[in-house]
């Protein structure tokens, strides 16, 4: 059984989708989500056994009993959780279920939350929950080494890199179709893009500062964003006076269309593991 919040829209979503697509060929899998978000809406379109247990907020533990009941009734052998919300819930299942609990470290849990309140509450809750898991999957050796450095037992940590299915032919729009879709002039400018949710750890502000330096020297450039998040208005405010050179595309489901359109792909994150933006690019 896999448990994930349901709101994920980045690398964790891509990772879990790829994992489930392969696992279901060999074993029975079920996914439990708590939030009606991007992940949940997209997985509903897949041929995956899915359960939605609505959570009122991150601290709502009413879902614990539901997960325990499903595990006991359907006889699952492993509980695999993804992300802070799922880690927190799983920590309350520890000792109540007789199967191992695994968590995948998709990102550095110390950097997942950026506001003072969330850092104080949710980062610390996640740190505690993380310690209670039986086994860990790190999506890079760097993440494995971070866990070992923080005192996690090496024999409980396994590195499994992110990956993509090379047998699937990428589907994408032509440059002309993409430009029309987002009202982008086809004026010969160099299109420079960045992919990722608008969170502090992704450092979109660095991307914008660099873009403004470029524009002082060369106006023949355009900067595109594929993503959404809480910092969107702040980032847009940084582009004031240069709006014609910046395009905020929002969440782009067909990310290969975005990649096909841009000329240069930029990564500015403070912390990454083995990001899908590099694999997909």
* Domain boundaries, given as residue ranges, for the chain: 2-159, 175-280
How does pLDDT run across 64-119, given as a tens digit for each residue? 999 999 999 999 999 999 999 999 999 999 999 999 999 999 988 888 877 888 88
Q: Would the CATH topology of 2-159 be identical to that of 175-280?
A: yes
* pLDDT at residue 182 tops 90: yes
How does pLDDT run across 140-170, given as a tens digit for each residue? 999 999 999 999 999 999 999 988 877 778 8
CATH fourth-level superfamily of 2-159: Glycogen Phosphorylase B; (3.40.50.2000)
DSSP string computed for the chain: -EEE-S---SHHHHHHHHHHHHHTTTS--EEEE-S-SHHHHHHTTSS-EEEE---SSTT--THHHHHHHHHHHHT-S-EEEESHHHHHHHHTTBTTBSS-EEEEE-S-TTSS--SHHHIIIIIHHHHHHHHT-SEEEESSHHHHHHHHHTT--GGGEEE------TTSPP----HHHHHHHTT---SSPEEEEEES-S-GGG-HHHHHHHHHHHHHH-SSEEEEEE---TTHHHHHHHTTT-GGGEEE----SSHHHHHHH-SEEE---SS-SS-HHHHH-
Q: How confident is the model at residue 272 (pLDDT cuts 50, 70, 90)?
A: confident
How does pLDDT run across 191-249, given as a tens digit for each residue? 999 998 898 888 999 999 999 999 999 999 999 999 998 899 999 999 999 999 999 99
Looking at domain 175-280, its CATH architecture is: 3-Layer(aba) Sandwich (3.40)
């Amino acid at each position: 059984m896999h448990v994930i919040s349901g709101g994920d829209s980045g690398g964790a979503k891509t990772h879990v989708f790829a994992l489930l697509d392969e696992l279901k060929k060999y074993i029975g899998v079920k996914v439990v989500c708590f939030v009606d978000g991007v992940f949940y809406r997209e997985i509903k379109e897949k041929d995956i056994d899915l359960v939605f247990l609505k959570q009122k907020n991150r601290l709502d533990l009413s879902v614990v009993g539901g997960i325990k009941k499903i595990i006991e009734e359907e006889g699952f052998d492993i509980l695999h959780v993804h992300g802070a919300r799922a880690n927190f819930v799983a920590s309350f299942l520890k000792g109540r279920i007789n199967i191992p609990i695994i968590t995948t470290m998709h990102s550095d849990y110390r950097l997942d939350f950026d506001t003072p309140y969330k850092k104080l509450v949710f980062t610390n809750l996640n740190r505690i929950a993380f310690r209670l898991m039986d086994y860990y999957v790190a999506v890079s050796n760097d993440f494995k080494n971070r866990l070992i450095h923080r005192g996690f037992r090496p024999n409980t940590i396994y590195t499994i890199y992110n990956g993509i299915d090379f047998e699937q032919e990428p589907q994408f729009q032509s440059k002309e179709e993409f430009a029309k879709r987002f009202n982008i002039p086809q004026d010969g400018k160099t299109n420079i893009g960045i992919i990722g949710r608008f969170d502090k750890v992704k450092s979109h502000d660095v991307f914008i500062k660099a873009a403004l330096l470029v524009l002082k020297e060369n106006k023949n450039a355009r900067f595109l964003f594929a993503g959404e998040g809480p910092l969107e208005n702040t980032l847009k405010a940084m582009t004031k006076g240069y709006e014609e050179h910046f395009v905020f595309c929002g969440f782009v489901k067909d990310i290969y269309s975005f990649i096909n359109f841009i000329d240069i792909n930029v990564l500015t994150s403070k912390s990454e593991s083995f990001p899908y933006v590099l694999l997909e690019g």
